[in-house]
Amino acid sequence: MSKTKEFAKHLKELNIENMFENDFFLTWDKTDDEIEAVFTVAQALRDLRERNISTRIFDSGLAVSNFRDNSTRTRFSFASACNMLGLEVQDLDESKSQIAHGETVRETANMISFMADVIGIRDDMYIGKGHAYQKTVSDAVKEGYEDGVLEQKPTLVNLQCDIDHPTQCMSDILHVINEFGSVENLKGKKVAMTWAYSPSYGKPLSVPQGVVGLFTRFGMDVVLAHPKGYDIMPDVEEVAKKNAEKTGGSFTKTNDMKEAFKDADIVYPKSWASFSAMQERTELYAKGDMDGIDVLEKKLLKENAQHKDWECTEDMMSLTKGGKALYLHCLPADISKVSCKEGEVSDTVFDRYRKPLYKQASYKPYIIAAMIFLAKVKDPAKALEKLEEEANRRKKN
Amino acid sequence: MSKTKEFAKHLKELNIENMFENDFFLTWDKTDDEIEAVFTVAQALRDLRERNISTRIFDSGLAVSNFRDNSTRTRFSFASACNMLGLEVQDLDESKSQIAHGETVRETANMISFMADVIGIRDDMYIGKGHAYQKTVSDAVKEGYEDGVLEQKPTLVNLQCDIDHPTQCMSDILHVINEFGSVENLKGKKVAMTWAYSPSYGKPLSVPQGVVGLFTRFGMDVVLAHPKGYDIMPDVEEVAKKNAEKTGGSFTKTNDMKEAFKDADIVYPKSWASFSAMQERTELYAKGDMDGIDVLEKKLLKENAQHKDWECTEDMMSLTKGGKALYLHCLPADISKVSCKEGEVSDTVFDRYRKPLYKQASYKPYIIAAMIFLAKVKDPAKALEKLEEEANRRKKN
Amino acid sequence: MSKTKEFAKHLKELNIENMFENDFFLTWDKTDDEIEAVFTVAQALRDLRERNISTRIFDSGLAVSNFRDNSTRTRFSFASACNMLGLEVQDLDESKSQIAHGETVRETANMISFMADVIGIRDDMYIGKGHAYQKTVSDAVKEGYEDGVLEQKPTLVNLQCDIDHPTQCMSDILHVINEFGSVENLKGKKVAMTWAYSPSYGKPLSVPQGVVGLFTRFGMDVVLAHPKGYDIMPDVEEVAKKNAEKTGGSFTKTNDMKEAFKDADIVYPKSWASFSAMQERTELYAKGDMDGIDVLEKKLLKENAQHKDWECTEDMMSLTKGGKALYLHCLPADISKVSCKEGEVSDTVFDRYRKPLYKQASYKPYIIAAMIFLAKVKDPAKALEKLEEEANRRKKN
């Protein structure tokens, strides 16, 4: 029996009715079965692709992307995911559109969705805004569909918001599962999600939040470490705590990077801005107070510069379990002496983990494709079996 | 018999030989049968799409888009139309091209068309320029095809020029036909195509011109209303007059918005610049007289500001037939208190008509697809029947 | 027997095993059989396309384009080539990416290639940089494929580098072959690859270098003419010399445009910057010495202006064989009195050759498609035969 057939068989055991015609905003909106279904379909699609079997479930159709922040890997991952399912990406480039001319989000959402099967949105810059924007778009197209304006309800895929970065964090954990051999093997493993120094300022909180909100579901001991003042959203900490209680793992916090790294099986050192600073920034932007933003930026950069010792060095790595913890990063990393003078990680550590880091990233197209697949196909197990049986070649000759 | 079969049957009764391998510039270039054919095919394609039947008539091929002005809905409508027929959109972004390096329109037209089945162009900014540009492109690729440079002659679709906006106005009237039940029901209905105040300046004339040039073909009483000085092109007024004479409707003008709204069945209040001002602007641009343009802009905005009472308010709507005229707009509208302080339409009127407005917009992808279909397929009735019979699913699983 | 069947038959006689899964950087990396295979497949694909037979060998897949310099015809040629094979182009727009944030070329190359079958790169601005960049990308994705990061190794197609412009020059020579009737007829023909005046500064050297590096393989007498100081890369001159020796042609140089044009069968007058000046510019950029660049640019423009007599005029053309040499240009040309006051070619000469010039350009999509086809298909002859036999229609109705 092919891997894909096995994955399809497993899928039948999961309770995933609610995924059909539904969106993907936050991993903690989803049940354990639903999360597992995404991994299962992602791996089945990868297996089919590796055997040159077409995974197209669309003969035509559009996937709209809306990147409100720069992106390389997520942009290409989304394009890859859509292409392998048979959808063509059409980018909503707000600078070329008439949105500035007083068009509302609700209106634009409908106007771009006449043939859209999927909408992928990255909106991670302002606390309190990104997730809200995605919800508004989702509500608008749902209404448009019910009103007969749209022929289909496009599925929304969160390509990073202010709260979560589900396509990233699910790729991260799928990579971890494959590195450790199974979901079962994750139980009791120690994960250090730690802040790290970067000369830049204002990086989104969605990755650390997404990681603690997701990794705590696997019975792991998740430690969140950051300098004082670099807290993440309290609501997400609550999610992490509840997850840990339920799965027999733990969620703890510290302001000591070494404590987090000590005996860790997995480390994820990464820069982010503090929640309170990001809230302040959002308010200043709302008021149009550009001078205030300048002052804030200077203050934050000064604060930031006091924590250059939060770097993932060889010495730090030697504190981890057997000195061999799995190093994770969502990329691009700020590598000391390579991309900046002093950064998140030393050049030798980064270089040693280059191969697993690239593998970590390589799951993202499949995670995105799986999210779309599960939202668009009524019977995903049967659909996978059919792809396997028809075995249309992707490269035909 | 499915709707599509009925549409195909109807299509056979129409004289549409000239549409094959032809362009679509202005609605008044086309016969009544040809206009009807576009509606017929548009509705057949929508029927097929709604039943998840693939409408692909191309296995591969490019559709080139050239937006010389910002666009959201037309851009996505064009992308949708091309995708549903199996064509991939490639955008000619003039800022990324070498056109600035002395390349001629004739040359570029050929260079981008080696595999192009369609070219869609929006060029609506300068009076006397947009339509001329489209004609030059069309002539160039025709010559390229005859010279053996191009393997196929790409069809040109006017996505808005300085004279007409056929994909918009045909969507508008198809929406009206569906709201009123039939083409026959349009006879004798009163349409108010009126100017409305907007704080911006220099909006194209192509929508009001397209509307009076098309709606007068359906035996309607079309009233064009605007403040003194906001005339449209005289040539288009001539078209409207002749249409009205032929179909038993009427075309009249007034400088009184209330008079236009009185007992109207349909109202289309929308801002535009005056023909003479746009001519002046075009001349100033040609001379490179940027100071002159600044002076003109200030003068026009001052003039404009004197007509803030040209707003589609609840009071204005109450003058219409039973207070319930169908409100049309090409979107985005300048909504008072929402997108600007004082604008084209009051927020309560706009909100009440949101659902029909979105429906109005939803016809555009099908209108564009129908124009392409009729230009590319030798026997469109047979082609529709074949799509119905083969019934390939668009979403396969 | 169809042309395509004949081309397929011919292909079987060529030794082209090394082309499978390989890149295309420089024409002189390739054997004569390999060069001939590209022409053969290009013409077969054109024959199939002309008979409305689908040339899709991919059911889905991405082709990444990375244009580090502006482009119209190469951009559309690449899009056309990919589309006709069934690949969707995804552009790596570096301004929208996070590359500025310290990402390395090696990392980006992998991150954009998860589903990429092809990567097309134009990087022609800095001497010593473009080819090196392409090699780095190619090495990175090869490693990514071997490490299991990528499911397939994308093929790299050089869409112009600092050394060669193979898709252009192979289109040029294929045009010449068709104009002269056969490869055999090229023997002993005189080609004048000459510098020409343009008011702009700093045009890449890749076209003259590509031409002397390729045309010398066909037993032609290739003359490279330019004012003193406008030398091309010495390494490429060596390639040209060796080619000429091997094929019984010649490669000579002169600083006299008339001498080059005298009795020439083919003329290719085109502006370029001098190798030494471009080296100097690259060094100044590396140092960030913007003042130095300004000084250099002024110096070069002054030098440049001394050679306005290097223009392809009617008088110059009258010196050629029977006054009827085939005029070539990669377009866009700087046409005197049309795109600039004084330029590379007089308006009457250019206009007389417009049709062949457009034909010359029209081979490029097929050349690119052939390069991809030969790199992706294990048995290209069989694949062509299969396309012919299956005869799926490109335009279905």
Distance from CA of B200 to the nearest CA of A (A): 9
DSSP-derived secondary structure for C41-101 = HHHHHHHHHHTTB----BSS-EEEEEESS--SHHHHHHHHHHHHHTPEEEE--GGGSSGGG
Query: C379: left (phi > 0), else alpha (psi -120 to 50), else beta?
Result: beta
B88 neighbors B82 (Cβ within 8 angstroms): yes
Q: Does residue B397 lie within any of the structural domains? A: no
- Tokens 């591969």 belong to residue: B60
pLDDT at residue number B126 = 86
Q: Are residues B153 and B173 in the same domain?
A: no
Q: Are residues A8 and A43 in the same domain?
A: yes
Q: Does residue C395 lie within any of the structural domains? A: no
Q: Are residues A228 and A126 in the same domain?
A: no
pLDDT at residue number C326 = 98
Cis peptide, bond prior to residue C332, ω within 30 of zero? yes
Q: What is the dihedral of CA C341, C344, C345, C346, to 10 degrees?
A: 20
Nearest residue on chain A to B396, alpha-carbon basis: A57
Instruction: List, for residues B358-386, the tens digit of each pLDDT value.
Output: 999 999 999 999 999 999 999 999 999 99
> B277-285, long-range: CB within 8 Å, 24+ apart, which pairs?
B277/B202, B278/B126, B278/B127, B278/B162, B278/B202, B278/B205, B279/B127, B279/B128, B281/B126, B281/B127, B281/B202, B282/B126, B282/B127, B282/B128, B282/B129, B285/B126
The model's confidence at residue B275, banded by pLDDT at 50, 70 and 90, is confident
Domain that holds residue A101: 3-163+363-390
Segments in chain A forming alpha helices (H): 3-12, 32-50, 73-85, 105-111, 130-146, 166-180, 206-215, 234-247, 257-261, 275-287, 290-305, 314-318, 347-352, 354-362, 364-376, 380-390
B59 neighbors C392 (Cβ within 8 angstroms): yes
- What CA–CA distance (Å, rounded) separates A270 from A208? 8
Evaluated on CA atoms C17, C18, C22, C28, the torsion sign reads negative
Residue C101 has pLDDT above 60, yes or no: no
pTM of the model: 0.96
- What CA–CA distance (Å, rounded) separates B312 from B328? 11
Residue C348 has pLDDT above 70, yes or no: yes
Instruction: List, for residues B215-250, the tens digit of each pLDDT value.
Output: 999 999 999 999 999 999 999 999 999 999 999 999
The contact set of C with B (CB < 8 A) is 46, 49-50, 54-56, 67, 70-73, 75-77, 79-80, 83-84, 86, 88-89, 200, 331-335, 338-340, 343, 355, 358-359, 361-362, 364-365, 392-397
Q: Which residues in chain A have Cβ-Cβ distances shorter than 8 Å to B333?
A: 102
Q: Are residues B102 and B222 in the same domain?
A: no
Give the length of chain C: 397
Q: Are residues C172 and C268 in the same domain?
A: yes
Q: In what order do the strands lie in the sheet with B88-91?
A: B88-91, B62-67, B116-122, B155-158
Distance from CA of A345 to the nearest CA of B (A): 37
The residues pairing with B393 across neighbouring beta strands, listed in sequence order, are: B53
Residue B101 has pLDDT above 60, yes or no: no
Pairing of strands B326-327, B266-270: parallel
Q: In what order do the strands lie in the sheet with C88-91?
A: C88-91, C62-67, C116-122, C155-158
Cα A247 to its chain centre, rounded Å, is 22
- Which residue among C331, C355, C396 places its CB closest to the CB of B59? C396
Distance from CA of C325 to the nearest CA of A (A): 42
Residue C69 tokens read as 């310099």
Q: Are residues A152 and A106 in the same domain?
A: yes
Nearest residue on chain B to C71, alpha-carbon basis: B97
C170 neighbors C215 (Cβ within 8 angstroms): no
The contact set of A with C (CB < 8 A) is 46, 49-50, 54-56, 67, 70-73, 75-77, 79-80, 83-84, 86, 88-89, 200, 331-335, 338-340, 343, 355, 358-359, 361-362, 364-365, 392-397
Distance from CA of A15 to the nearest CA of C (A): 31
- What CA–CA distance (Å, rounded) separates A90 from C117? 20
Q: Mean pLDDT score of chain C, rounded to an integer?
A: 95
Report how far apart the first and last C-alpha atoms of chain C are (Å, whole number).
Answer: 25
Annotate C106-129 with b (16+ C-beta within 10 A) or e (fewer). Answer: bbbbbbbbbbbbbbbbbbbbbbeb
- Residue C270 sits in a domain of what CATH number? 3.40.50.1370
The model's confidence at residue C104, banded by pLDDT at 50, 70 and 90, is confident
How confident is the model over C157-176, as a mean pLDDT? Answer: 98
Q: Are residues B199 and B274 in the same domain?
A: yes
Q: Are residues C127 and C188 in the same domain?
A: no
Instruction: List, for residues C186-195, the tens digit of each pLDDT value.
Output: 999 999 999 9
Helix, strand, coil % in chain C, rounded to nearest 5: 50, 15, 35
Counts of helices then strands in chain C (DSSP H, E): 16, 9
Interchain CB contacts (distance < 8 Å): A and B: 123
- Which residue among A72, A80, A335 places its CB closest to the CB of C98? A72
How confident is the model over C24-35, as a mean pLDDT? Answer: 98
- Which residue among C104, C111, C386 places its CB closest to the CB of A397? C386
Q: Does residue C396 lie within any of the structural domains? A: no
pLDDT at residue number B96 = 63
Q: Are residues A255 and A147 in the same domain?
A: no
Burial class (CB in 10 A: 0-12, 13-18, 19+), B179: middle
DSSP-derived secondary structure for A30-68 = S-HHHHHHHHHHHHHHHHHHHTTB----BSS-EEEEEES
- What CA–CA distance (Å, rounded) separates A368 from A76? 11
Residues of chain A scoring pLDDT < 70: 96-103
Q: Are residues A344 and A255 in the same domain?
A: yes
> Which of C50, C56, C73, C85 should be substituted to probe chain B, the one whose Cβ sees the most B Cβ atoms within 10 Å?
C73
Q: What number of other Cβ atoms are within 10 A of residue B219's Cβ?
A: 19
> Which of B49, B55, B362, B372 should be substituted to probe chain A, the one whose Cβ sees the most A Cβ atoms within 10 Å?
B362
pLDDT at residue number A98 = 55
- What CA–CA distance (Å, rounded) separates A229 from A210? 19
Does B115 contact C200 at a Cβ distance shorter than 8 Å?
Answer: no
Closest CA to A332 of A111, A74, A83: A74
pLDDT at residue number B187 = 97
A221 neighbors A189 (Cβ within 8 angstroms): yes
State the chains in contact with B (3 or more Cβ–Cβ pairs under 8 Å).
A, C
DSSP-derived secondary structure for A128-194 = TTHHHHHHHHHHHHHHHHHTTSSSS-PEEEES--SS--HHHHHHHHHHHHHHHSSSGGGTT-EEEEE
Q: Are residues B193 and B151 in the same domain?
A: no
- Tokens 């059909």 belong to residue: A20
- This complex has an ipTM of 0.94
Does C86 contact B382 at a Cβ distance shorter than 8 Å?
Answer: no
Q: What is the largest CA-CA distance in chain C?
A: 64
- What CA–CA distance (Å, rounded) separates C4 from C380? 12
Burial class (CB in 10 A: 0-12, 13-18, 19+), B262: middle
DSSP label at residue B19: G
Q: Which residues in chain C have Cβ-Cβ distances shorter than 8 Å to A125?
A: none
The model's confidence at residue C397, banded by pLDDT at 50, 70 and 90, is confident
- Under 8 Å CB-to-CB from B184, ≥6 apart: which residues? none
Closest CA to A155 of A206, A96, A211, A81: A81
| Coil vs helix vs strand at A223 | strand
| Coil vs helix vs strand at A373 | helix
Q: Does residue A111 lie within any of the structural domains? A: yes
- Under 8 Å CB-to-CB from B292, ≥6 apart: which residues? B284
pLDDT at residue number C286 = 86
Q: Mean pLDDT score of chain B, rounded to an integer?
A: 95
Q: In what order do the strands lie in the sheet with A266-270?
A: A250-254, A221-225, A190-195, A266-270, A326-327
Q: Does residue A397 lie within any of the structural domains? A: no
pLDDT at residue number C98 = 55
pLDDT at residue number C201 = 76
Backbone angles phi, psi at A30, to 5 degrees: -105, 150
Number of structural domains chain A divides into: 2
DSSP label at residue C325: P
Cα A309 to its chain centre, rounded Å, is 27
DSSP label at residue C393: B
Q: Does residue B60 lie within any of the structural domains? A: yes
Does A379 contact B397 at a Cβ distance shorter than 8 Å?
Answer: yes
- What CA–CA distance (Å, rounded) separates B193 from C366? 50
Q: Does residue B395 lie within any of the structural domains? A: no
Q: Are residues B302 and B347 in the same domain?
A: yes
Q: In what order do the strands lie in the sheet with B250-254?
A: B250-254, B221-225, B190-195, B266-270, B326-327
User: What is the CB-side half-sphere exposure of residue B322 using CA atoms within 13 A?
Assistant: 5
Q: What is the largest CA-CA distance in chain A?
A: 64
Distance from CA of A340 to the nearest CA of C (A): 7
Residue C381 tokens read as 């002859």
Does B58 contact C394 at a Cβ distance shorter than 8 Å?
Answer: yes
Residue B262 has pLDDT above 80, yes or no: yes
How confident is the model over B252-261, as a mean pLDDT? Answer: 98
Q: Does residue A154 lie within any of the structural domains? A: yes
- What CA–CA distance (Å, rounded) separates B28 from C171? 43
pLDDT at residue number A316 = 98
Burial class (CB in 10 A: 0-12, 13-18, 19+), B308: middle
Instruction: List, for residues C200-243, the tens digit of each pLDDT value.
Output: 878 999 999 999 999 999 999 999 999 999 999 999 999 999 99
Annotate A70-86 with b (16+ C-beta within 10 A) or e (fewer). Answer: bbbbbbbbbbbbbbbbb
